[in-house]
Amino acid sequence: MKRELRIGLIGAGRIGQLHGNNLVCSVPEAKLSAVAEINLNDSVIAWAKGLGIEKISENPGDVINDENIDAVFICSSTDSHAELIIQSAQAGKHIFCEKPIHTEVKEIKKALEEVEKAGVKLQIGFVRRFDHNHKKVRDTVASGQLGRPHIVKVTSRDPEMQPLKYILTSGGIFMDMTIHDFDMVCYLTGSEVTEVTAYGSIMITPEIEQCGDVDTAIVMMKFKNGALGVIDNSRAARYGYDQRTEVHCDKGCVQVANDLKDTSMISTVDGVICEKPTWFFLERYNGAFIAESKAFVAAVLEDKEIFVGGADGLISVYIAMAAEISLKENRSVRLEEVM
Amino acid sequence: MKRELRIGLIGAGRIGQLHGNNLVCSVPEAKLSAVAEINLNDSVIAWAKGLGIEKISENPGDVINDENIDAVFICSSTDSHAELIIQSAQAGKHIFCEKPIHTEVKEIKKALEEVEKAGVKLQIGFVRRFDHNHKKVRDTVASGQLGRPHIVKVTSRDPEMQPLKYILTSGGIFMDMTIHDFDMVCYLTGSEVTEVTAYGSIMITPEIEQCGDVDTAIVMMKFKNGALGVIDNSRAARYGYDQRTEVHCDKGCVQVANDLKDTSMISTVDGVICEKPTWFFLERYNGAFIAESKAFVAAVLEDKEIFVGGADGLISVYIAMAAEISLKENRSVRLEEVM
Amino acid sequence: MKRELRIGLIGAGRIGQLHGNNLVCSVPEAKLSAVAEINLNDSVIAWAKGLGIEKISENPGDVINDENIDAVFICSSTDSHAELIIQSAQAGKHIFCEKPIHTEVKEIKKALEEVEKAGVKLQIGFVRRFDHNHKKVRDTVASGQLGRPHIVKVTSRDPEMQPLKYILTSGGIFMDMTIHDFDMVCYLTGSEVTEVTAYGSIMITPEIEQCGDVDTAIVMMKFKNGALGVIDNSRAARYGYDQRTEVHCDKGCVQVANDLKDTSMISTVDGVICEKPTWFFLERYNGAFIAESKAFVAAVLEDKEIFVGGADGLISVYIAMAAEISLKENRSVRLEEVM
Amino acid sequence: MKRELRIGLIGAGRIGQLHGNNLVCSVPEAKLSAVAEINLNDSVIAWAKGLGIEKISENPGDVINDENIDAVFICSSTDSHAELIIQSAQAGKHIFCEKPIHTEVKEIKKALEEVEKAGVKLQIGFVRRFDHNHKKVRDTVASGQLGRPHIVKVTSRDPEMQPLKYILTSGGIFMDMTIHDFDMVCYLTGSEVTEVTAYGSIMITPEIEQCGDVDTAIVMMKFKNGALGVIDNSRAARYGYDQRTEVHCDKGCVQVANDLKDTSMISTVDGVICEKPTWFFLERYNGAFIAESKAFVAAVLEDKEIFVGGADGLISVYIAMAAEISLKENRSVRLEEVM
């Protein structure tokens, strides 16, 4: 019996092409045979042909309803995710969907119901779970070798401010940026967030005050198992993509530092200069993107449980919602308030 | 003209003897000529004689009223600090006082008023300000080379749980342990805390619930200059004394790691083993204790401003009080509420 | 005009398949269209078909004489390299050849003459030159920012002993293993080795004494520009692939550490455990293999100078020969003695 | 019975005052009661009085023949060491002597014979053996946990060139500077050097060619147990005092990095700046100087074996002599040739 997963890609922008390249070059069991991009142009067509993709379309339905496709990668704009999940599930396709599923809980729930009804698999693109560093923290905690977790800390800073235009429509720092970290703290502790308090400040770009957003934030949280957590975010670290995690437990602490561009150390009378962290998510999470595609393909082919599914996508949205309320009303917010 | 500061020591317990040794061995301009210890015994007398101290007494007044003494080091029990400061100020002595000045704001204020009235100098024993690592963070921020501070983070964990008996009378984790960190965040940012939220949990010793205390805590804070801060505390890190600080600013980040026992790296097929942090405050802050004594002696002899004075001692107590209210009432507390 | 280099692969063993995969997946300007493998079998055919290679043969001549091929990758056994270079040059193909060109100077010279006569490009597979770490050392030295190099140090240790059978036919530690490091020291200093002294010892596998080889070695060298160098080798580091380089110069030192599997640090009362170096050359030099293929393709397409050519391949063999004489005769050997 | 060692200091220059301060402040069992300095002046007298030393003299004999003295610290100029050891041994005093004992083997042997005859203890001031880092390497190797040593590496570079005047009379780089490293390799491996080859170069100060010396050197050595070793030296590292050691063994490797001024890391868009190594031996080996004095005092009081004795002082001189011959005659030199 042939073990191959026939995949169709929906959305061939930056992240879609990234997944496409990875599926072709690094996931031997995957066969990328169709792509749909509503803004189809020569560049996209050339890219798809270069990868040997035979079926190229402007219409996602052409991929979803293709009988020779087993699974879809949904990499289109966020507002289309929920609807495409529903159509794909109804067509019996397994689904990999970029995060977030949607910014509205109602839409997410509708999509998840269809997935469940159809009995297909759904994986959400929380790529950081597949990063060699964070995974090591999680595996160490999950092994129990350090006992119960007490404190989880996540430092997550983008290298440079996104364009103001992007920020204004991003849904706010918690839904756009911290949502990765909300998933991360749940992943690392293996427990559920019950309550959050968020502090925010505008330190980088005064203009974002217009839309009630902040560019610098710290969010503190409580977990069901008694642990406490904290995330600190900045929209502009300047020195690169700062992605560190740490869990302190009964018997000690596990932490990971950033990946650096190289391990050089230049020592002179002026000081010792080392390299900066890798620049942004494409560099830092390159291996993790491949690993998440491999994990999805393997889970479908071997009918195993998906590692990060729809429920994980939903819970992160709840936490982001609670953080937003906390920031606006300057109070601690229990998660059940927004669920 | 001779530049020598004649010092009398009040309290010759562990911390008092530490200061005494440092003054004799490492501060050439200091002359330790008297000591008072209310629980005087053979061991203390032998220690004092070994250092060449001529005047040994059971009565602090003998030191305070000695005309041949220029300054006192108050290292007695906390509840005696305020009263001894008042007596010393009235006697015209310059004062070094271990932290905290007192746990009651009223007593602290009374003491500070007498100090001001007398025109003597008062230095509070926030020794961590003199640590080579934290000082480097502060100097880097203060230099302005990184622009304004956005985020300040302090990790502060004791190696092992103190005896329950100690915890029960300690005044609680914020007044006993985090108070150092409250001073540290002010020192590092050069700004004032305006609001705090505290989360706490009992993860190590269930028995401390009796006294309404916690053993694990995270405190988030806002600063006047817009910066945000966070401190995480544990009563039992197990691997040593975990003392790390970090300030993220406009142009980048400055952070310091722990001092390690040695720089060894043992690589085998089982992994790479490095050394743990220095065990506790005597090891970690050994050099800082000497530096703070030198700074006090120099400030008095050269009539310069004290680096960490009574106001700093008071503000840390206010922050601790606000954190306690926040923890108990599960809400954000503005500092002005307790001032 | 289309910028594409049509490549034929000769030898589809482990290293040949590695290059084949990289050319297809990571070098967009390369088109791998033919492969020849004298031990052709189903597995090789399946691999080649999977990559979309159309022409699969048992005969290297089929690739070399293919008019639709611009360049060849010679990845066959070492003893065939020189002859295949000659044939490829005569056929007007550009050549990428795995190191070493040959173990006999006479054969190497013959091959290089043909390359020169044909005016084709030849790149030797000294992959470590393309490693992000070593390249940073070299670029720092070459930039002149540290002044002239004084001392160059290379630590190069394999993770585990190769099978005795491999060792017996390997040509000895210097020709088999240190040859990479001989190229590295030339690359890092930008100067020529003039003299070497080698010390060797059998510390790991007593059996290799039979063939006059050693498993542990240190080689010291002098450079034309006055610098001194040292390489230390072990056939079995146990903890992974130990690949560190360092150059000390007029104004300071540049050095690189190993790449680690992850950046984790697990701190407990038993110590602090970090990760080991990446296991072996496939992990460590993965990115470097891709970079060297890209460099070759770019150099041919843009008619630029090859970064590491035939002369570099020859000089490393000379140094290895001198080291062998030094070890056997326990004396310092000038390079001109073997040239 | 009182456990106190009454010590007399001979030579109160920089290193003598360092030992004097350490004995008074950090070695409770030591009582420094006399000092002799042939160039006695007001500054030395003030220093001695400040430490409470009662007997101050210009004549070493006054210390050596003092009946109230148990042991002497010989910190005078090198050429006086052997003679003072002889006199002290004949007077029945235990002896701490700064390295080297002498540069002439004949003188050293005469001194060691007198020490043996008198049955007194003699410790040589190889202070690096007491450094927390190098000691950890040695203890790890000596414990046997890594199996037999294969390769020992020492990096030893001074921060800045000594004055040419100093270099000219220093006895050459091997006798003056590498001698510490020769002792270190013996200490780390627990084995004896049997053969050395030295390469040297003048990279820093052309003027030192006049006296046949070099400023940059690498020395390779063989040990009785089969291990190989290498030392690299520079008279001017520029970035501080570079003191690293490493031993590779059957089961893995133990290495130590430099101590740094602080653990800071400043990350900006221009790079990540860390601190330099501590500047020179007074900073780096501060704790080691105290530890060696404590070890000497304890060994005498408890009548235990001295950790680093006269034989160690002699063997290092032999190795230095062999290295000098190797450099001059450009050949490998067996140690028995100079013994």
The pLDDT confidence band at residue A1, using thresholds 50, 70 and 90, is very low
C96-118 pLDDT, tens digit per residue, is 999 889 888 999 999 999 999 99
Query: Is residue B161 over pLDDT 70?
Result: yes
C27-70 pLDDT, tens digit per residue, is 989 999 999 999 999 999 999 998 889 899 999 999 999 999 99
A220-258 pLDDT, tens digit per residue, is 999 999 999 999 999 999 999 999 999 999 999 999 999
> What are the residues whose beta carbons fall under 8 Å from the beta carbon of B201, sequence distance 6 or more?
A150, A222, A226, A227, A228, B214, B215, B216, B217
pLDDT at residue D9 in the model: 98
Written as six digits, the tokens of D289 are 């100087």
Residue with more model confidence, C192 or B51: C192
Residue with more model confidence, A195 or B166: A195
Chain C nearest-CA residue for D334: C330
For residues A285-291, give the mean pLDDT. 94
pLDDT at residue B78 in the model: 86
| CB-based contact D66:D8 (threshold 8 Å) | yes
> What is the identity of the amino acid at C42?
D
pLDDT at residue C288 in the model: 96
A89-143 pLDDT, tens digit per residue, is 999 999 999 988 988 899 999 999 999 999 999 999 999 999 999 999 999 999 9
Find, among D66, D183, D70, the residue nearest to D131 by Cα.
D183
D265 chain-C contacts, CB cut-off 8 A: none
Residue B221 is inside which H or E element, if any? Answer: strand B216-223
B252 chain-A contacts, CB cut-off 8 A: 237-239
| CB-based contact A324:A217 (threshold 8 Å) | no
B238 chain-C contacts, CB cut-off 8 A: 267-269
Query: Is residue C183 over pLDDT 70?
Result: yes
What is the ipTM for the molecules in this complex?
0.94
Question: B199 and chain A: CB distance < 8 Å anywhere?
Answer: yes
pLDDT at residue A43 in the model: 94
- Angle, nearest 10°, between helix axes B42-50 and B14-26? 10
pLDDT at residue D335 in the model: 97
Q: Do A273 and D271 touch (CB under 8 A)?
A: yes
What are the residues facing D6 on neighbouring strands?
D31
The per-residue pLDDT of chain D, averaged, comes to 95
Written as six digits, the tokens of B71 are 């300054």
B103-124 pLDDT, tens digit per residue, is 889 999 999 999 999 999 999 9
What's the rounded Cα separation, in Å, for the pair C151 and D274? 23
**B-interface mutation test, from A173, A178, A220, A243, most B Cβ less than 10 A away:** A220
C252 chain-D contacts, CB cut-off 8 A: 237-239
pLDDT at residue D324 in the model: 97
B260 chain-C contacts, CB cut-off 8 A: 272
Distance from A194 to chain B by nearest Cα, in Å? 12
| CB-based contact C73:C19 (threshold 8 Å) | yes
**D-interface mutation test, from A272, A273, A275, A278, most D Cβ less than 10 A away:** A272
Q: Do B252 and D275 touch (CB under 8 A)?
A: no
pLDDT at residue D36 in the model: 98
Q: Do A274 and D273 touch (CB under 8 A)?
A: yes
Query: Is residue D1 over pLDDT 50?
Result: no
Nearest to B136 among D133, D255, D262 (CB): D262
Phi, psi of C48 (to 5 degrees): -65, -45
For residues B320-335, give the mean pLDDT. 97
To the nearest whole percent, how much of chain C has pLDDT over 70?
A: 99
Written as six digits, the tokens of B139 are 């100097």
Query: Is residue C1 over pLDDT 60?
Result: no
Written as six digits, the tokens of D28 are 């409770």
B271 chain-C contacts, CB cut-off 8 A: 273-276
Question: C259 and chain B: CB distance < 8 Å anywhere?
Answer: no
D207-251 pLDDT, tens digit per residue, is 999 888 999 999 999 999 999 999 999 999 999 999 999 999 999
Helix (H, G, I), strand (E, B) or coil at A219: strand
Q: Do D239 and A272 touch (CB under 8 A)?
A: yes
Query: Is residue C152 over pLDDT 90?
Result: yes
> What are the residues whose beta carbons fall under 8 Å from the beta carbon of C283, sequence distance 6 or more?
C241
The pLDDT confidence band at residue A51, using thresholds 50, 70 and 90, is confident
Q: Do D271 and A274 touch (CB under 8 A)?
A: yes
Query: Is residue C251 over pLDDT 50?
Result: yes
A296-334 pLDDT, tens digit per residue, is 999 999 999 999 999 999 999 999 999 999 999 999 999
Query: Is residue C10 over pLDDT 60?
Result: yes
B262 chain-D contacts, CB cut-off 8 A: 132-133, 135-136, 256
pLDDT at residue A211 in the model: 81
The pLDDT confidence band at residue C23, using thresholds 50, 70 and 90, is very high
Is the Cα torsion angle D157, D162, D167, D169 positive or negative in sign?
Answer: negative
Distance from B237 to chain A by nearest Cα, in Å? 6
> What are the residues whose beta carbons fall under 8 Å from the beta carbon of D106, sequence distance 6 or more?
none
The 3 state secondary structure assigned to C158-220 is CCCCCCHHHHHCCCCHHHHHHHHHHHHHHHHHCCCEEEEEEEEECCCCHHHHHHCCCCEEEEE
Question: A323 and chain B: CB distance < 8 Å anywhere?
Answer: no
For residues C132-152, give the mean pLDDT. 98
Work out the number of other CB atoms within 10 angstroms of the CB of residue D142.
14
pLDDT at residue C100 in the model: 87
B249-284 pLDDT, tens digit per residue, is 999 999 999 999 999 999 999 999 999 998 888 889
C272 chain-B contacts, CB cut-off 8 A: 239, 260, 273-276
Q: Which D residues in the span 44-83 are in contact with B, Cβ-Cβ below 8 Å?
A: 50, 52
Distance from D212 to chain A by nearest Cα, in Å? 28
Work out the number of other CB atoms within 10 angstroms of the CB of residue C44.
18
Lowest mean pLDDT among A83-92, A138-147, D15-24: D15-24
For residues B73-92, give the mean pLDDT. 95
Q: Do C232 and D230 touch (CB under 8 A)?
A: yes
Residue with more model confidence, B1 or B142: B142
Query: Is residue D103 over pLDDT 90?
Result: no
The pLDDT confidence band at residue D329, using thresholds 50, 70 and 90, is very high
Distance from A66 to chain D by nearest Cα, in Å? 48
pLDDT at residue B283 in the model: 86
| CB-based contact D65:B87 (threshold 8 Å) | no
CA dihedral D53, D55, D58, D60 (to 10 degrees): -100
Query: Based on C-alpha coordinates, what's the Rg of chain D?
Result: 21
B244 chain-C contacts, CB cut-off 8 A: none
Query: Is residue D19 over pLDDT 70?
Result: yes
**Model confidence pTM above 0.90:** yes
Residue D319, classified by CB atoms within 10 Å of its CB into exposed (0-12), middle (13-18) or buried (19+), is buried
pLDDT at residue B1 in the model: 37
The pLDDT confidence band at residue B298, using thresholds 50, 70 and 90, is very high
Residue with more model confidence, D169 or A118: A118
Q: Do C254 and A267 touch (CB under 8 A)?
A: yes
Query: Is residue C264 over pLDDT 90?
Result: yes
Question: D132 and chain B: CB distance < 8 Å anywhere?
Answer: yes
